Amino acid sequence: MKQRINTICVQGGYTPKNGEPRQIPIVQSTTFKYDTSEDMGKLFDLEASGYFYTRLQNPTNDCVAAKIAQLEGGTAAMLTSSGQAANFFAIFNIAGCGDHVVASATIYGGTYNLFHVTMKRMGVDFTFVEPDCTDEELAAAFRPNTKAVFGETIANPALTVLDIERFAKAAHDHGVPLIVDNTFATPVNCRPFEWGADIVTHSTTKYMDGHGAAVGGCIVDSGKFDWMAHADKFPGLTTPDESYHGITYAEKFGLEGAFITKCTAQLMRDFGAIQSPQNAFLLNLGLESLHVRMPRHCENALAVAEHLKGCDKISFVTYPGLKGDKYYDLAKKYMPGGTCGVVSFGFKGGRSAAENFMKHLKLAAIETHVADARTCCLHPASATHRQMNDEELLAAGITPDLVRLSCGIEDAADLIADIDQALAQI
């Protein structure tokens, strides 16, 4: 029976049998016991499925990953220790030294740094394009060695909206998958696979956990990208893996399983960025109310954005759910039910007014975090994005006076009162 998002949030991924625990058990064990060496050997050869060591797979994690796969409408998923690990694995699973990736310029600062500095040192080159570049500019970014296209549904903190259909078409025209970081929208508000994306990633640290309790990440495969049809581009999936007894992932695990199986068997094995089962359990508690929290985050953010729009000390308000916003139409198309709880805005008094305003907030706490049940705020130019020069800042959609306010699920009237008293003091 096909279930709707609200039901999957609560009950997806785990169906207890007669007499089993109602809640997903935390399997707090590093290892699993077998009767014979032959039994275990089959697991190592990927001939039988089963657990042997939590660095590769754990039953708690698998239940939660299955729920997220269901929410996104994908065929397979894996949890990672953080969103950073999820994005690194998603790219590195198909692009290595000598390869190239096209990425939206307006992405999370941590992801930009991962791509632009660390992965560059590993020999992977990135070309960054504006999310609203022309089709010609987008096509011109591809090279013969391009292996993927990457963007964020709603960019953190620039709040640009990715035209998923357009980016998916460009990716597919060049024989490569589109990877979308869906952290800010969550599958409650947007399911990128329905618009042609092939792989989705998440920082589950944000809305999915939603309580500021557990850092984590997730990778979901749509099962739609045909690796064999572009076999020469993706030898890691389409030729034998000597480190796994000559298995060819795309042959053995098909469209639906190849990407995640390779990512688990190679990258999780070698880099070890597994999510702890404890954190997976906490993540699942968050997922159980995600569909209830998201609408409130969005309602509060819209109320705050509309209020800020009328404040005379404010120079601009960016919120994709706000009428008149540059990305309003794209947001309505891809996220008709709401976008996210994050609003950004600037000050007529510039950078110092922004810093001064934040000092006077009482309910909204200064944190690098976003997407928490509690409202929090950040000045990216002096925190998450401080490694960028002004030119890079502007390219990422950030001005020196920009404040990012992540609206929680408190009462909107209290959030607005807090903003008003802080504005009155600057």
Q: Which residues would be at the binding site for ligand PLP (CB under 6 A)?
A: 82-84, 87, 108, 110-111, 152, 156, 181, 183-184, 203, 205-206, 215, 217
Closest approach, Cβ 394 to ligand PLP, in A, equals 19
Closest approach, Cβ 318 to ligand PLP, in A, equals 16
DSSP label at residue 371: S
Closest approach, Cβ 153 to ligand PLP, in A, equals 9
Distance, CA of 254 to CA of 245 (rounded, Å): 17
- Counting every residue written for the chain, the total comes to 426
Among 160, 149, 220, CA closest to 184: 160
Closer to ligand PLP by CB, 184 or 253: give it: 184
Closest approach, Cβ 184 to ligand PLP, in A, equals 6
Closer to ligand PLP by CB, 152 or 163: give it: 152
Closest approach, Cβ 279 to ligand PLP, in A, equals 11
Q: Return the structure tokens found at 205.
A: 């640290």
Task: Output the residue with the shortest Cβ distance to ligand PLP.
Answer: 83
Phi, psi of 241 (to 5 degrees): -95, 105
Distance, CA of 208 to CA of 172 (rounded, Å): 29
Distance, CA of 93 to CA of 267 (rounded, Å): 7
Closer to ligand PLP by CB, 87 or 186: give it: 87
Query: Which residues have C-beta within 8 Å of that of residue 78, sequence separation ≥ 6?
Result: 61, 65, 218, 219, 260, 263, 264, 268
Among 37, 57, 39, CA closest to 48: 39
Query: Looking up tokens 């570049």, which residue turns up?
Result: 133
Closest approach, Cβ 108 to ligand PLP, in A, equals 4
Closest approach, Cβ 240 to ligand PLP, in A, equals 33
Closer to ligand PLP by CB, 72 or 181: give it: 181
Side-chain half-sphere exposure of 6, counting CA atoms within 13 A: 3
Closer to ligand PLP by CB, 216 or 400: give it: 216
Closer to ligand PLP by CB, 54 or 84: give it: 84
Cα separations (Å) of 388 from 112, 349, 383, 405? 10, 22, 10, 20
Distance, CA of 110 to CA of 11 (rounded, Å): 32
Closer to ligand PLP by CB, 210 or 236: give it: 210
Closer to ligand PLP by CB, 184 or 193: give it: 184
Among 319, 377, 312, CA closest to 347: 312
CB atoms within 10 A of CB 413: 11
CA angle 335, 329, 308 (to 5 degrees): 85
Distance, CA of 69 to CA of 77 (rounded, Å): 5
Closest approach, Cβ 116 to ligand PLP, in A, equals 14
DSSP label at residue 179: E
Closer to ligand PLP by CB, 119 or 258: give it: 119
User: What are the beta bridge partners of residue 349?
Assistant: none
Closest approach, Cβ 190 to ligand PLP, in A, equals 13
Closer to ligand PLP by CB, 110 or 257: give it: 110
User: What are the beta bridge partners of residue 161?
Assistant: 154
Closest approach, Cβ 86 to ligand PLP, in A, equals 7
